[in-house]
Amino acid sequence: MSSQKNRYEVYHDAGVPCHVKLALGIKNWNFELLCKLQNNLSWLHFVTKSCGSTKIPNMKFWHDGLFSRITFREPVFIGGRGNTSGLAERFPTDRGFVGCVRLLQANDHRYDFGETPAGDTVKSQEVEECSTDKCTRSPCQHGGKCVTTTNSSICLCPLGYTGDLCETILDLQVPSFNGSSYLRHPALGDSALSWLDLDIVFKTQSIDGLILYEGYQKYGSADFICVYMIDGHVEFTFDLGTGTASLRSPWTVSLGEWHRLWISRTGKLAVMRVDNQPEVQVLSPEAFTQLSLPLSMYIGGVPDFDTVPAQIKVRTSFKGCIQKVTINEKPLQIVRGALSGANVANCPH
């Protein structure tokens, strides 16, 4: 296989050359090629993959040579010709492939691009990890989820593990959140219909970040609650189904120190106090008075901010520690009570 600009040519030679030329997209994962020999017929079969924008019809292709078998004695080369200078005049290009190959399967053998003995690669030269897909080899341990960023990849570690590759086992006491962390808890359900008291002790390292959130169904009830840091202030925004109401701490809170936050909401009225700052209060607009929260509650962040209503201006997860959350006078088991979570570590003393 060779490439020149956006043209790929695929050669299958069992005595008589036969060529197929296809124009394919650059910078997309392209297609899967199946090449089979059957009796004295050989055919090539192209299947487009959904991730490429180019559509190639399935094709069958027969060569009219005499030979019916093909025997390979040389190693398989991927991406470049290697030491096959004897075949130079039969190859129309002397350039190697520039791009990524993520799967190669011949008959039933799926090649492992790793080095021998674990993988199939006997020798390689100037091959590196595909920069557009750093997660192909999924380096994360203990079930961590690999997520690509612009230049690299990060591991989202499951609850109880930490480290760049989720390699460290944790006994979590007071959880620390790093800006990509969250803990998912059971829904509050109807336990907050008429009243909701929150008592939270936290220490933030950033002026912005989501501390607690539960909502909100795109196609159903619009009820939600959200506690978060924004511009150094603590805010509480809630919606009983007829529009949002917000409370903001009058003053900013210091970074790196413990703070205590009380929120008490009864029907449409919500009252908030942070440390010894003045109390603030607000009434929810319009008619609805009940808060029903059927979805999971999140502490320290959410896996996907698309699920958080646009009225919440903060779009980053919390950076810091959360020592205590009490809901309606019941202490929440912040870590042990969580259904799942990611990237939660121990709060440094």
# residues contacting Ca ion (CB under 5 A): 5
* Closer residue to Ca ion (CB): 148 or 290: 290
Shortest distance in whole angstroms from residue 190 CB to Ca ion: 10
Torsion of CA 15, 19, 24, 27, to 10 degrees: 40
Among 80, 163, 241, 294, binds Ca ion (CB under 5 A): 241
Yes or no: say if 93 and 67 are a contact pair by the CB < 8 Å rule. no
In the complex with Ca ion, the residue whose CB is nearer, 215 or 300, is 215
> Rounded distance, CA 149 to CA 134, Å?
9
Pick the stretch among 106-114, 211-219, 244-252, 281-289 that binds Ca ion (CB under 5 A).
281-289
Question: Which is closer to Ca ion, CB of 244 or CB of 290?
Answer: 290
Residue 193: CB minimum distance to Ca ion, A: 8
Cβ distance to Ca ion smaller for residue 200 or 240: 240
Work out the number of other CB atoms within 10 angstroms of the CB of residue 186. 11
Question: Using an 8 Å Cβ cutoff, are 49 and 65 in contact?
Answer: no
Indicate whether 240 belongs to the interface with Ca ion (CB under 5 A): yes
Number of DSSP helices (H) and strands (E) in the chain, helices first? 0, 24
Q: In whole angstroms, give the CA distance from residue 67 to residue 41.
A: 9
Instruction: For Ca ion, give the closer residue by CB, 28 or 290.
Output: 290
CA distance 30 to 316: 34
Name which of residues 287 to 306 contact Ca ion (CB under 5 A): 288, 290
Instruction: Closer to Ca ion by CB, 30 or 221: give it.
Output: 221
Q: Verify binding: residue 223, Ca ion, rule CB under 5 A.
A: yes
Cβ-proximal residue to Ca ion, closest one: 241
CA–CA dist 285, 242 (Å, integer): 7
Q: How far is the CB of 178 from Ca ion (least distance, A)?
A: 33
Distance CA 224, CA 294 (A): 10
DSSP tag of 189:
B
* Stretch of residues binding Ca ion (CB under 5 A), selected from 160-168, 196-204, 237-245, 260-268: 237-245
| Cα 2 from Cα 93, distance rounded (Å) | 7
Residue ranges that bind Ca ion, judged by CB under 5 A? 223, 240-241, 288, 290
